[in-house]
């Protein structure tokens, strides 16, 4: 099969930052599906892994990255229960395994969902990783329930990105929260308003701007941009007994003491945790993806696709990675194979 990968972590504008190569088509066993990949989307995790996985070495075999994918089940392992050959599927992948930037991929059925029926291949490919991350942030980590939390406030830092774009929709349309989000450019402000934000504030002088929007404190805060940059603001803005969740990691130690007097809960979210550790509830991602597919099909959620490129080519992958690294992406870009 054909695949696109890299042997060394290089700046995206260098010739061999990505290479096209041939490799053996894998065979499924156990609970694995062999999926013929039709389209993929690119996320910040793709750029981070490309930049770091072979930073001080040259790999003998090219590394294949990529997580979001839509495709058709080509074959199944002997223990597969949820899918059969010919099924249309979508998924966000497994950080510990070979990725979706190839003609075929092995993927555990427990982290795979049925593709939304009413969405195009490109519209569906834009959704899995960001939708799972947003869903787990709100409903698994923060345990938000419409029955007890409707009308409460949430601040989403980084609303126009891939995860923020779906988190705004889930928070507003599914959980019934009042949504405040950050955006600074006119096009990103417009995007946020279209995707569920009640209030859009500039991330600069965040505390001041949230208070200008009418909120002394907020019930929930989610960080999709840079936790270290906004930690002091989060500690000031969070309501007593509120909840903060971040997906971005922390380059420096966090002063959790800032949350003590308010008895604030803090959580990390990593969409890959279940597959990385083969947790007992790994199949939850299968169920969540199917729920998201239903919400997309009935119009309660909308795809965050903004751009589609045609062809599994090195140039296309370089273009998408360069766009993501620019920090000016809105929504998601998909490459159709």
Mean pLDDT value across the chain:
96
pLDDT at 207 over 90: yes
pLDDT at 167 over 90: yes
From 115, 66, 113, select the one nearest 93 (Cα to Cα): 66
Which pLDDT score, from 0 to 100, does residue 328 have?
Answer: 78
Helix (H) or strand (E) holding 155, with range, is: strand 153-157
**Alpha-carbon distance 316 to 285, whole Å?**
29
Which pLDDT score, from 0 to 100, does residue 75 have?
Answer: 98
* 257 contacts: CB under 8 Å, gap ≥ 6: none
Mean pLDDT value of segment 154-171:
94
Per-residue pLDDT of 277-331, as tens digits, reads 999 999 999 999 999 999 999 999 999 999 999 999 999 999 999 999 988 778 8
Radius of gyration of the chain (CA): 20
pLDDT at 161 over 90: no
pLDDT band for position 251 (50/70/90)?
A: confident
Which pLDDT score, from 0 to 100, does residue 330 have?
Answer: 84
Mean pLDDT value of segment 121-131:
97
Per-residue pLDDT of 4-50, as tens digits, reads 999 999 999 999 999 999 999 999 999 999 999 999 999 999 999 99
- The predicted model scores a pTM of 0.94
Per-residue pLDDT of 73-118, as tens digits, reads 999 999 999 999 999 999 999 999 999 999 999 999 999 999 999 9
Which pLDDT score, from 0 to 100, does residue 146 have?
Answer: 95
From 108, 100, 94, select the one nearest 28 (Cα to Cα): 108
**Alpha-carbon distance 18 to 8, whole Å?**
9
- The CB-side HSE value for 47 (13 A sphere, CA atoms) comes to 16
Which pLDDT score, from 0 to 100, does residue 100 have?
Answer: 98
Per-residue pLDDT of 230-244, as tens digits, reads 999 999 999 999 999
pLDDT band for position 184 (50/70/90)?
A: confident
For every residue of 201-221, DSSP letters joined together read E-STTHHHHHHHTT-SSEEEE
Go through the domains of the chain in sequence order and give each one's CATH number.
Answer: 2-127+277-336 (3.90.180.10), 130-268 (3.40.50.720)
Per-residue pLDDT of 259-277, as tens digits, reads 999 999 999 999 999 999 9
**Alpha-carbon distance 308 to 39, whole Å?**
10
pLDDT at 178 over 90: yes
């Amino acid at each position: 099969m054909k695949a696109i990968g890299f042997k060394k972590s290089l700046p995206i504008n260098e010739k061999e930052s990505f290479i096209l190569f041939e490799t053996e088509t894998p065979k499924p066993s156990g609970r694995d599906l062999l999926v013929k990949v039709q389209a993929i989307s690119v996320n910040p995790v793709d750029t981070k892994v490309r930049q770091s996985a072979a930073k001080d070495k040259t790999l003998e075999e090219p590394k294949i990255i990529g997580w979001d994918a839509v495709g058709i089940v080509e074959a199944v392992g002997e223990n597969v229960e949820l899918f059969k050959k010919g099924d249309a599927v979508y998924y966000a992948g497994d950080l510990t395994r070979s990725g979706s930037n190839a003609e075929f991929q092995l993927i555990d059925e427990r982290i795979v969902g049925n593709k939304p029926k009413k969405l195009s291949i490109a519209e569906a490919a834009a959704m899995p990783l960001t939708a799972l991350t947003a869903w787990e942030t709100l409903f698994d980590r923060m345990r938000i329930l419409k029955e007890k939390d409707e009308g409460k406030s949430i601040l989403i830092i980084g609303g126009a990105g891939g995860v923020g774009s779906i988190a705004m929709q889930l928070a507003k349309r599914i959980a019934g929260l009042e949504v405040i989000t950050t955006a600074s450019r006119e096009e990103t402000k417009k995007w946020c308003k279209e995707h569920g934000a009640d209030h859009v504030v500039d991330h600069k002088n965040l505390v001041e701007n949230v208070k200008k929007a009418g909120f002394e404190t907020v019930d929930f805060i989610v960080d999709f941009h840079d936790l270290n940059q906004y930690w002091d603001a989060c500690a000031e803005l969070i309501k007593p007994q509120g909840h903060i969740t971040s997906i971005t990691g922390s380059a420096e130690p966090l002063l959790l003491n800032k949350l003590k007097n308010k008895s604030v809960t803090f959580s990390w979210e990593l969409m890959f945790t279940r597959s990385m550790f083969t947790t007992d509830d790994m199949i939850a991602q299968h169920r969540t993806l199917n729920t998201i597919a239903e919400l997309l099909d009935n119009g309660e959620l909308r795809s965050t696709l903004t751009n589609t490129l045609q062809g599994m080519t090195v140039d296309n992958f370089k273009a998408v990675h360069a766009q993501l690294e620019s920090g000016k992406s809105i929504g998601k870009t998909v490459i159709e194979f």
